[in-house]
């Protein structure tokens, strides 16, 4: 029997969370695989945890006060899962991602073809447009990479659908909780790359998930200065100190310092960066 730990962090998206769990348990898996779901309730107030417990009693719910956000929630879920038992695989999954029924099989088959020693990433398309790539594997030079009918190497990835074998976990460890929300997935991929771990995009689209707002509040000239500052300092915004740590770690001190100051400048004068935004 091979064990898979599915890791989720949720906050007030009851419909999406329940849909995601249903799709996990509807996966067409070989009987040799066992799935355990570890769900971080990051301070939900919409009744999500109670309904999950009622409909999916096997889900292991870990409650927090709402101060973890995505990356720290995933780190906590991973930490608890790793202490419970030895897992052959860890699956990162966003609760707003709609898995296709064969997604997990494709991830596992892809991993097996790589001797279970590589990170395997699933790509997503927009919910209403299956030709619009939204999340997946990334190239350092070209950004998001469109999946094909064969595996494709990549440099790092979005954390929406990511299969991490035990080999990689033991070599790289977990995602770094120094990051609250974003950057934890990018950072993990780049850290893995530095340790010689390879990453591949699985064939085809494995799920659907709409992209977030293209222009963040902190740098949007149509938002008030107060709104921009609040978003900038939020874990959900640019979070300049965390961004500095990330860039210094992977791109060097000069770039990190440069962007630290220019991002602060952009909060004050966002129109300097984009003249095409209309009210």
Whether residues 235 and 120 share a domain: the answer is no
Q: What tens-digit pLDDT sequence spans the chain (279 residues)?
A: 999 999 999 999 999 999 999 999 999 898 899 999 999 999 999 999 999 999 999 999 999 999 999 999 999 999 999 999 999 999 999 999 999 999 999 999 999 999 999 999 999 999 999 999 999 999 999 999 999 999 999 999 999 999 999 999 999 999 999 999 989 999 999 999 999 999 999 999 999 999 986 678 888 899 999 999 998 988 888 889 999 999 999 999 999 999 999 999 999 998 877 644 443
pLDDT given at position 274 = 64
pLDDT given at position 56 = 97
Q: How far, in Å, are 215, 228, 237 from residue 268 at the CA level?
A: 15, 8, 15
CATH code of the domain covering residue 71? 3.90.550.60
Whether residues 10 and 30 share a domain: the answer is yes
Number of domains in the chain: 2
Whether residues 179 and 224 share a domain: the answer is no
Tokens of residue 126, six digits? 């927009």
- Give the phi and the psi of residue 195 in degrees, each rounded to 5: -90, 5
pTM for the predicted model, two decimal places: 0.94
Tell me which of 158, 179, 208 is where a domain ends.
208
Strands 156-157 and 89-93: unpaired
* Domain, as residue range, for 177: 2-208
Whether the Cβ atoms of residue 169 and residue 118 lie closer than 8 Å to each other: no
Whether residues 157 and 261 share a domain: the answer is no
First-to-last alpha carbon distance for the chain, in angstroms, is: 57
Whether the Cβ atoms of residue 134 and residue 126 lie closer than 8 Å to each other: yes
The whole-angstrom separation of Cα 75 and Cα 217 is 26
């Amino acid at each position: 029997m091979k064990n898979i730990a599915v890791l989720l962090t949720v906050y007030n998206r009851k419909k999406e969370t329940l849909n995601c769990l249903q799709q996990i348990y509807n996966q067409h898996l070989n009987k040799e695989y066992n799935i355990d779901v570890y769900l971080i309730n990051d301070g939900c107030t919409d009744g999500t945890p109670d309904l999950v417990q009622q409909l999916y009693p096997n889900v292991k719910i870990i409650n927090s006060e709402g101060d973890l956000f995505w990356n720290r929630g995933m780190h906590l879920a991973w930490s608890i899962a790793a202490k419970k038992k030895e897992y052959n695989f860890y699956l990162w999954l966003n609760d707003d991602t709609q898995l296709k029924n064969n997604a997990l099989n494709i991830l596992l088959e892809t991993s097996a073809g790589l001797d279970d020693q590589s990170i395997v990433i699933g790509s997503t398309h927009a919910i209403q447009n299956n030709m619009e790539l939204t999340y997946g594997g990334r190239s350092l030079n070209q950004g998001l990479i469109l999946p094909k009918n064969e595996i494709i190497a990549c440099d790092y990835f979005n954390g929406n659908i990511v299969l991490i074998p035990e080999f990689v976990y033991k070599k790289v460890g977990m995602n770094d909780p120094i990051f609250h929300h974003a950057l934890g997935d990018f950072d993990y991929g780049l850290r893995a790359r530095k340790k010689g771990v390879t990453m591949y995009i699985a064939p085809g689209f494995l799920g659907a998930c709409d992209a977030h707002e293209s222009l963040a509040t902190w740098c949007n000239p149509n938002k008030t200065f107060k709104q921009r500052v609040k978003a900038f300092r939020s874990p959900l915004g640019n979070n300049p100190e965390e961004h500095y740590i990330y860039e210094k770690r992977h791109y060097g001190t000069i770039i990190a310092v440069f962007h630290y100051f220019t991002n602060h400048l952009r909060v004050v004068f966002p129109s300097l960066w984009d003249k095409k935004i209309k009210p």
